[in-house]
C-alpha cells in the first residue's frame, strides 16, 4: 500500500511539472507569435513609405548630415511629398502612452490643402527620424507600437537615380 501511495505521489508530481512546463511553452509561443505579427505588420506598413521615398528624385529636407522628424522630397514629375508624424489620440488613450501616426502628403504646388492627398502610412508610431546620408539617400529610424510590445528598425533608402536622364 505504501509503495502504491509513493508511486501515485511521484506520478502526480511528474504530471504537475509536465503541465506547468507545457503552459510555460504555450505562453512563450504566444508572446513570440505576437512579436512576429507586430514585426510583419510594421514591415508591411513601412514598405508603403519606402516605396514612396524610392520614387523620389531629390531630397529637399533634411540636408545632408541633418536629422529631422520629417522628410520632404520631390519626385520625377516635380511633385513634393512630405512624410511627418501627427499625434494619434485614440490610440494614445488606448495604450496609455504617446502615439503618433505617419502621414504622407503629396502636393503639386496648387497653393491649397487637399485632404485627398494625405494618406496614413502607419498608425502606431512611437518615434521616427530621417537622416540624410547623401543627396539621394536617407536613413529612417522608426519605433512602432502594438499594445504592450514595440518594434524598432533602421532602414537605409536610396532615392531614384536619374543621373544622365534628360
Three-state helix/strand/coil letters over the chain: CHHHHHHHHHHHHHHHHHHHHHHHHHHHHHHHHHHHHHHHHHHHHHHHHHHHHHCEEEEEECCECCEECCEEEEECCCCEEEEEEEECHHHHHHHCCCCEEEEEEEECCCCCCCHHHEEEEEEEEEEEEEEEEECCEEEEEEEEEECCEEEEEEEEEECCCCCCCC
Output 111 or 18, whichever has higher pLDDT: 18
Q: Is the pLDDT of residue 69 over 90?
A: yes
Predicted model pTM: 0.75
- pLDDT at res. 140: 93
Q: What is the pLDDT of residues 117-160, one digit of tens each?
A: 899 988 888 999 999 998 889 999 988 887 767 878 888 999 98
Q: Is the pLDDT of residue 163 over 60?
A: no
- pLDDT at res. 132: 94
- pLDDT at res. 166: 47
- pLDDT at res. 41: 75
- pLDDT at res. 162: 63
- The mean pLDDT of 70-94, rounded to a whole number, is 91
Q: What is the pLDDT of residues 15-67, one digit of tens each?
A: 999 999 999 888 888 888 877 877 787 788 778 888 888 988 889 999 999 99
- pLDDT at res. 89: 92
Output 164 or 30, whichever has higher pLDDT: 30
Amino acid at each position: 500500500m505504501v509503495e502504491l501511495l509513493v508511486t501515485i505521489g511521484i506520478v502526480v508530481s511528474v504530471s504537475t511539472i509536465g503541465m506547468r512546463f507545457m503552459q510555460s511553452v504555450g505562453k512563450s509561443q504566444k508572446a513570440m507569435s505576437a512579436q512576429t505579427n507586430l514585426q510583419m505588420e510594421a514591415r508591411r506598413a513601412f514598405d508603403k513609405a519606402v516605396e514612396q521615398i524610392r520614387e523620389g528624385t531629390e531630397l529637399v529636407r533634411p540636408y545632408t548630415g541633418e536629422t529631422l522628424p520629417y522628410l520632404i522630397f520631390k519626385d520625377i514629375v516635380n511633385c513634393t511629398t512630405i512624410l511627418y508624424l501627427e499625434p494619434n489620440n485614440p490610440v494614445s488613450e488606448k495604450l496609455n502612452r504617446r502615439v503618433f501616426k505617419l502621414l504622407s502628403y503629396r502636393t503639386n504646388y496648387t497653393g491649397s490643402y487637399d485632404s485627398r492627398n494625405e494618406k496614413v502610412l502607419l498608425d502606431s508610431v512611437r518615434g521616427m527620424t530621417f537622416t540624410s546620408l547623401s543627396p539621394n539617400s536617407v536613413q529612417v529610424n522608426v519605433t512602432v507600437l502594438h499594445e504592450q510590445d514595440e518594434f524598432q528598425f533602421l532602414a537605409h533608402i536610396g532615392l531614384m537615380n536619374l543621373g544622365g536622364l534628360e
